Each structure stands twice: as C-alpha cells, then as structure tokens.
Structure 1
Amino acid sequence: MSIVVVGNGMAGSRFVSEVRSRDRDVPVTVFGAEPQQPYNRVLLSNVLAGVSAPDQIGLVDPAWYEANDVDARLGVEVVRIDREARVVYASDGSSVPYETLVIATGSNSLIPPFPGTENGLPAGAIAFRTLADCHEILAEADGATTAVVVGGGLLGIEAARGLAGRGIEVTVVHLAGHLMERQLDPGAGKVLARTLRRLGIDAHLDASVTALRTGDDAGTVRVSGVDLADGRFLAADLVIMACGVKPEVGLARAAGLAVERGIVVDEELTSVTDPAVRAIGECSQYGDTVYGLVAPAWEQATVLADLLTGADSAARFTGARQITRLKAASVELAAMGETHHGDDDPGVEVMQFADASRGTYKKVVIRDDRIIGAILLGETSTAGTLTQLYDRESPLPSDRLSLFFPGVGGAPEADTPVRIPDAATICQCNNVSKGQIRACWEKGARTADEVARETRASTGCGGCRSALEGIVSWLDEQESVTVA
C-alpha cells in the first residue's frame, strides 16, 4: 500500500509521524503548500507576542523525513486529483500515484467581501493564519502605534494580546454582542472585555466593519483604518483580519468528492464518495461537525494511522468533545461544552461565580449530575478537574464548591499531583495521562521538556504545561524523599 498525504499542517504532519511510529516500510509521500517545516499553529500568538521564536514551535524537523524514509515535498501544492487513475498532480509538474489518499488541507482565513478587499488585502492589512502571516505582521508592527483587529473570537483575542504586548494600542471590532461568543456566555464575555481593557485593548461590540480605508504611501496602496456601519472611522497603522476560517475543500470538490461544509467522512475517516480517499482535520466533516481544534484533528490522525497500518483495525472516530484553551499573557481561559445555558433552563443546574474586578468568571452547567459545559476565566486552577469530569462524563463530587475553589474546607486541592489518579488525562490535545508521564519519568526523562518530547504532552495548545511541570517536580520530590 502507498499513501499520499495532501497537506502537511497539524493534522497531516501528525498523521505521517503516527504512521511511521507503527510501520517503517509503507511508502509515504506528503505534500505541503508551505515551504517550511510543519509548525504548531496554535502557538503563533506566542510568536506574535515575542514569547516564542518561530523555530521553537516546529512539529517535525526536516531531517526527520529523510531519516524516516518519507518523501516530503515542502512548498509544493497538489493542484488536481485524478480519482479514476488514483494519481495526484502537483504545482511543480510532478505526479504521484496512490493507493490511499489522505486529504488534510486544513482551513483558510475568511476575508469578508467589503470595499478595500476587492484586489486582495492592501499593505498593512493582514490575515492571521500562517507563520508567513505572523512574519508579515511582525514586520508591519515594527514602528506601528495603532492596530485594529477585526474579529473578537479566539484567534482575534490572541492576536490583540500579542500586539498589545508589543506596546501597540489595539482595538478589537466584533460583530457579536460579546467576545468569543461561540465559547463564552455574555457574563464571561463582559469580564473578558474588562480584563482586556486593563491590558490596553479596547473592544467595540455589535460593530460591523463596512470597508477598509486606504491611502497612497509612496505609490503603495496602504490601509489607514476601518469604517464601521455606525459611521465611525477607526484609524490604524495595522489591521489584522481574524474574521474566522473556512475549510479548504476546493481540491476535493473539483475531484467530485462529497463536500458540505467539509469533506464528508465516516467513522473510519473515509470519504463517503470514494473508499480510497480519507480526510482528517479542519477540512473534514464527520456527521454535521467540522472540528476546528487541534485535539480532534490529532485524534483523527491517530485513528487513521491505526487503521491504515493495521495496528488497530477496530479504531473508529466517533466524534470529539471540544475544549478551548486560551493562555495568553495575563489572560487564562478554559471553556468546554454547552456554556450558554442559564437558570431559566429547567433541565439543567447552573453554578456561577464572578469577580469582575479580578477578571474572574466561573461557570459550570450540570445535567443529571454530569458536567455538560464549563467556563473558567482568569483563575483556572480547577481546569484539569473540570476537564476530566466533562470528558469522561463522570459523576460530580459531593462538594461541588471544589469545582470552583480547590481546597475548600481544608481538603487537599483536587488537582495537586498526589491527588490526580494515574488514569487522569493531563494533556487533552495529545491524550496523555498522568500515568504515561510517570512512566516516561521513570524511564529517565527527568525534565518537563524531556517528557514533552517523549509523550507530546503540552505540545498542543500549551494549556497543560504548568500541570506537566508540577507532576515532574512532584516526582523529583518523591524520589529525593525516598532516597533520604
């Protein structure tokens, strides 16, 4: 069997590495439109903020491909799929036959068709999606004093925080009535907006951009700000477009595959049109859902690698629970499940706590003694506990206040290392348990970085990094006590 992978982003590169960890011999060719090594797109905001260098967010070193006999064609796009002949044709004129084709083309930035974007984005207006976008933003930010971010979702907030950290005056323009409306309820959105104001980020809500205003800068068309529907004009040296993404399905649609929002697949990630074609990541659609987070994409990559190599012929993808983590400087957030329920819903119980002055908002939505949704903003020490209860649909503890405040009544904190069972999942993105971290440590990986390299814990959204460091530190302390 020969495998051709179209797309070398977070889903495609993970799939290739998962295949090689199971089968050293199956021929694998991977095409990546971007010329550099695959990287962690989730951590681009850290690059924007100056917290991480671009070379620190790589997922696969280029030398790995040769060492593992993978034909990697970086900077080469697939332009056509011939399903009848089972051949892909690339932008460099090459063609490669396949027995199994895996499409992992991800998503593209959504650019609204308002005036100022007819001929592409003008200088100084940049979509925030790729590492190349990040480099362009950093180049434009050098010398900029004001920026407008169009879109107050997760990506927009991360971009705004990164730019504000560089001393730029930032305004977020958001169409909805509160920030991150897909993950947060209005109360949490209000607290988040207040937190951002303290960090120098203003937010215009219920606001619609109607045009990018431009001017001539030495013969170059350059953005000068945005016009709003209410008549206001916001001047800006830099405009970041974070208006959402859309699955990249043009190649699949042209090949005659079934496409709705994404490429329609079944539990084996097989196209419902063609059994020789699989699709994973943000370009795929299982049921009615297109998953836009890293953990489901990596789960799909693992399932598909198990199936195609025969490592687990019973592996199936049956959907994933979506957990959002935002961990920007001075802003910590965990949100999961159905967060928009209120006290007027007779079928659920809602627990809430808010301290807007401290930037703290906590909410748990409960049905039948199970967590069906939760928000932790500003203070996330119980995020691990809530995530485990939600992910496993486990019964709640008798002391429900401990879901918000660990250590209530003098009890030990629920998610200190000594209290976490080995079966508990620490890294949701990579499905790494405390027991796997312990086993890795016992085999000789004695630092958080070493454990991360071996287990991949904390290499997704980075939200579990402090938990990983805490467990490693606790294991070191236990060893010193034992030796003493």
Structure 2
Amino acid sequence: MSRSSTDGGERAAAAGIVVVGNGMAGARLVSEIRARDRRVALTVFGAEPQQPYNRVLLSDVLAGATGPDQIGLVDPAWYDANDVDARLGVEVVRVDRDAKRVHASDGTVTPYDTLVLATGSTAFVPPIPGTEHGLPGGVVAFRTLEDCRAILAAADGARHAVVVGGGLLGIEAARGLAGRGLHVTVVHLAGHLMERQLDQGAGAVLARTLGRLGIRTLLGTSAKALRTGTGAGDARRVTAVELETGERLPADVVVLACGVRPEVRLARAAGLKVDRGVVVDETLRSVTDPDVRAIGECSQYGDTVYGLVAPAWEQATVLADLLTGADAAARFTGARQITRLKAAGVDLVAMGETHHGDDDPQVEVMRFADASRGTYKKVAIRDGRLVGAILLGETGTAGTLTQLYDRSGPLPSDRLSLLFPGMGGAQAADSPVRMPDAATVCHCNNVSKRQIRVCWENGARTADEVARRTRASTGCGGCRDALEGLVAWLDEQDSVTVG
C-alpha cells in the first residue's frame, strides 16, 4: 500500500514508527510490531521493489532448487490487511533528525516519532582493473534477488564461471552454478576456505569436497584483472579473469562474493555515531539520538556487527517488545553466532571459537577428520563448557552441540558423544522421543520442541503447516530435516495411540 502525499510532499499519515529497510530484519520487525499492536502508525520503506524475501535462500534459487516466488517473507496482501504503509521501491535519501522527518526518492517527506534503521549491508566490490567503468556484462556482485536473476541470465548457455571469494556466500554461489552444469573455479585470497568460520583442517576438507562436486579451488591468490571482449550490441562482456599468479581463467560468468559492508551512509549523513555499523545500546537505540533505533546488519552492539539472520530476528523481537510496550524490560545483550551451510553435497555447521589448536593449554580440543569421505569434526572445550565446534559432512550431533553452546550447559562425561551420533548424551538429545520439550529446534526463530508439539496438537499436521504457524525452518533452513522428523514422529505416536 502506498498512500498519497499532500501537495507539499508531506506524508498524510500520522507520525508513528518509520522503518527504513524492508529486508529480513526490517520485515520481521514490522510483522512483530503488528502482532503486538494494531493501532500504532507504521510505515516501512524498501529500496527493492519486490516484497521482502529470505536472502538466505538465494543460493537455493541459484541452484534451481527453489523458485524466486517461493522465498517471500510477507504475503503482498498482508500490508493492506494490517494497515501498514509499505513504500516498496522507494529509497529514503535523507533523515532530518531535527524535524523528525525522512525524505524519500519519490519526493515525499514522512514524519516519525521513532525511526528504525534496518538498511542491511551492501556487497563489497574490490577495485579490480576492468571494473573502473562499472561491471562488464557477465559480472555480478552477489547480494540481492536481482543479482541472483542476473547471475542466472548470465549462466544461461555459459560454460565457465569464476567465483571471486571463498566465504559462505561464495561457496553457495559456486555450488549453485556447478549444479547447473558450469565449470566453476573459486578464487580465494586466504589460505583456506571460509577462514572466518573454519580452521585450516576443515577448510582443506571442504575444498576436497567441492572438488568432488566439480568445483576447482585456488587459494592464496586474487583476481588481478577482468578481461573483456565485445558482446551483443557492442557491449563489454567478461571473457576471462587474470590472477596474481599470472594464470588466466576463462569466464563467461564472474560472481563477486568478496564480503559485505554495513549500509550506513544514511546514518552517517544524519550525524549518528557510526563505527562499522550504527552504534546502539541494549535497547537498540542509537547512542546519538534516543528517537533512532537500528537493527540487523547495519547496527553495531558493542564491538560486533551481526551478519546472520538469527541475531537480526532476535533484535527485531526485542525492539518490537520495547516499541509497543509489550515488554519494557526487553534487552538485546548479544547473540551467539552459528553458521550453517546446507547445499547439495555440502553440509556444514560452525559455531563459536573454531580456531583453537592443540597448543592452547586452556582449551581441550577434540578432532576427527576423514577427508576421503568429506568429514571433519571438531569441538573446543574450556572450563567444562563448549566454546566452539565444526561439523562438516556429518552433522548428526549438531542439535546437541548447538544446545550446549547456546546454554553453556554441562558436557556429557563421554566426550565422544559430542562428535558421533548415537553415543551417550548425543543420542538422548537428538532422538525426538527423548529430546526435552525446552530444546530449541529452530535457532533462527527460537522455536522449541514444545512449540512444535503444541502446534501439531492444534491441528498443524504437516511440516509446511507447522512452519507457517511457528516460522520454524523459515530462516536458514538448516533445521528442516529436524522439523520434518519431529512431525513424522508425532504422526507415528498418534497412529500408535489410536491403534
């Protein structure tokens, strides 16, 4: 819904809450606010023209496993039904904090009582020769749904693809393109893949796993230049990527996955305190202006900018409680970050402090590797508590480790149960019948086994219906198997009882 403005460009709507950014953080905040308060005036601006979507699932779209129309977060009719002024495809270009108004790209001016910045982040494009006059045809910085569509268009009929960047997004892009039959090479400056989340051993196993899937990995080097030729209509089009080593890689498609940067230009221009992100306190309030809040990838709490969906959604819940008065004591005091990569042939979970080696006397490290099978497992323990873990290739104890890490719970005496399912404590935690009701199944949305069971008892008899009602599995999707397993187990128990 886009309400008309007055002749002077002033928004006709009463001042209330204005949310700038309609991505995963902003869209979640809007829905959480409306779930608590249906009366407060609520306006949301989204620079992208389409309805908000799950950015985590873009790699599934790239791989062809999911359609672009299947990753939406909000039904288009929801805004009208819930009296939300949704300004899709309209960018906020200036914030006037003195007058408490935002100026938009369509010339309108909207007043606010509370302004929430949820502007997310933007893809970093390195200054590679060949990009001085914009990205040539076939080269895409992977971040948005439009980027995903551009990659798919470039990949149509292509043979060779180069992915610059071996982080999480780069690996997902490479797997998606390889699944479409392209010859894919990943070029990564660091000494091993996903160096922020994985240690060297896990990175080496991951590279070997990708190799079996037809993806070549080149480490410790970077793109020196993009080489171009003339395509249709005399347009520049990429033909190759030249590396610092001198090697030249043929390329019909180049995906730049070189990291992201918090989108803070609007905040900085408005005079808010910005470090890497907009600096906020535990109420998500800007330390500069009490009427401005910030959540998601553009915000910074303490020294941390959270780049994962679960912390952003946790922030949205806290802020909705505060802004509506549902819980005046709600606070965001930081979040544990758990990285999940689940693509065809690659299953990975990493959490906490993953880089500990055997030379740290304060940390107990357990490790198992079977590179031939693509398996790497590692746990790091300090003072009897789990402080980090990596599971690659075989993630049967992921639920157990996540719960122990989240809650800093005591570890089982049999440490092997942390690495291998079916042993000791891991069996009890991972079995639906023995899993405690309080166990968290979906960490993105903080959905427990009890909530799933209650939802099932209230008539949601399929995983899709439970997901719709509870939001379980609608974040990173890593818990989908667990959700389906719980629903199947509940169905089985019901049939046994009825019989």
What TM-score results when the alignment is normalised by the length of structure 1?
A: 0.99
Deviates more, 1:333-342 or 1:409-418: 409-418
In structure 2, the residue matched to 1:114 is 128
In structure 2, the residue matched to 1:266 is 281
Deviates more, 1:409-418 or 1:286-295: 409-418
1:150 to 158, 161, 164: 164
1:180 to 194, 207, 211: 194
- Mapped contact 1:115–1:211 kept (Cα < 8 A): yes
Q: Measured at CA, do residues 74 and 409 of structure 1 come closer, stay the same or move farther in structure 2, by a change above 3 Å? A: closer
1:62 to 73, 76, 81: 76
**CA deviation map 1:169-207 (0-9, x unaligned):** 000000000000000000000000000000000000001
Matched, 1:82 2:96: yes
- Mapped contact 2:16–2:41 kept (Cα < 8 A): yes
* CA distance, structure 2, for counterparts of residue 112 and residue 200 of structure 1: 26
Q: Measured at CA, do residues 410 and 325 of structure 1 come closer, stay the same or move farther in structure 2, by a change above 3 Å? A: closer
In structure 2, the residue matched to 1:256 is 271
- Mapped contact 1:402–1:414 kept (Cα < 8 A): no
* CA distance, structure 2, for counterparts of residue 13 and residue 300 of structure 1: 12
Taking the TM superposition and a 5 Å limit, the aligned residue runs for 1:440-451 are 440-451=455-466
* CA distance, structure 2, for counterparts of residue 452 and residue 429 of structure 1: 12
- Mapped contact 1:29–1:70 kept (Cα < 8 A): yes
Taking the TM superposition and a 5 Å limit, the aligned residue runs for 1:355-374 are 355-374=370-389
Q: CA deviation at 1:145?
A: 0.5
- Mapped contact 1:336–1:375 kept (Cα < 8 A): yes
Deviates more, 1:209-218 or 1:364-373: 209-218
CA RMSD between the two structures: 1.0
Taking the TM superposition and a 5 Å limit, the aligned residue runs for 1:313-462 are 313-408=328-423, 412=427, 414-462=429-477
Q: CA deviation at 1:414?
A: 3.4
- Mapped contact 1:406–1:413 kept (Cα < 8 A): no
* CA distance, structure 2, for counterparts of residue 325 and residue 410 of structure 1: 23
* CA distance, structure 2, for counterparts of residue 341 and residue 329 of structure 1: 29
* CA distance, structure 1, for counterparts of residue 349 and residue 271 of structure 2: 39
* CA distance, structure 1, for counterparts of residue 346 and residue 385 of structure 2: 27
Secondary structure in 2 aligned to 1:298? helix
Secondary structure in 2 aligned to 1:189? helix
Taking the TM superposition and a 5 Å limit, the aligned residue runs for 1:280-299 are 280-299=295-314
In structure 2, the residue matched to 1:91 is 105
- Mapped contact 1:6–1:105 kept (Cα < 8 A): yes
Secondary structure in 1 aligned to 2:436? coil
* CA distance, structure 2, for counterparts of residue 294 and residue 191 of structure 1: 26
Matched, 1:2 2:16: yes
* CA distance, structure 1, for counterparts of residue 348 and residue 422 of structure 2: 21
Q: Measured at CA, do residues 14 and 410 of structure 1 come closer, stay the same or move farther in structure 2, by a change above 3 Å? A: closer
* CA distance, structure 2, for counterparts of residue 383 and residue 89 of structure 1: 46
Residue identity matched to 1:209:
A
1:300 to 312, 315, 334: 315
- Mapped contact 2:412–2:424 kept (Cα < 8 A): no
Q: CA deviation at 1:411?
A: 8.7
Q: CA deviation at 1:214?
A: 1.2
**CA deviation map 1:420-471 (0-9, x unaligned):** 1000111010000001101111111110000000000000000000000001
**Structure 2: gaps (5+ residues):** 1-14
Secondary structure in 2 aligned to 1:96? strand
Q: Measured at CA, do residues 410 and 75 of structure 1 come closer, stay the same or move farther in structure 2, by a change above 3 Å? A: closer
Q: Measured at CA, do residues 221 and 470 of structure 1 come closer, stay the same or move farther in structure 2, by a change above 3 Å? A: same
In structure 2, the residue matched to 1:130 is 144
- Mapped contact 1:365–1:373 kept (Cα < 8 A): yes
* CA distance, structure 1, for counterparts of residue 294 and residue 396 of structure 2: 36
* CA distance, structure 2, for counterparts of residue 149 and residue 68 of structure 1: 42
In structure 2, the residue matched to 1:13 is 27
In structure 1, the residue matched to 2:326 is 311
Residue identity matched to 2:432:
P
Percentage identity across paired residues of the two chains: 78
In structure 1, the residue matched to 2:181 is 167
Matched, 1:200 2:211: no
Deviates more, 1:410-419 or 1:26-35: 410-419
Moved over 2 A (4+): 408-414
* CA distance, structure 2, for counterparts of residue 293 and residue 84 of structure 1: 33
Secondary structure in 2 aligned to 1:21? helix
* CA distance, structure 2, for counterparts of residue 400 and residue 384 of structure 1: 15
Q: CA deviation at 1:408?
A: 2.8
Q: CA deviation at 1:409?
A: 7.1
2:481 to 443, 466, 469: 466
In structure 1, the residue matched to 2:7 is none
- Mapped contact 2:414–2:424 kept (Cα < 8 A): no
Residue identity matched to 1:70:
V
What TM-score results when the alignment is normalised by the length of structure 2?
A: 0.96
- Alignment: residue pair count: 484
Q: Measured at CA, do residues 98 and 357 of structure 1 come closer, stay the same or move farther in structure 2, by a change above 3 Å? A: same
* CA distance, structure 1, for counterparts of residue 184 and residue 474 of structure 2: 29
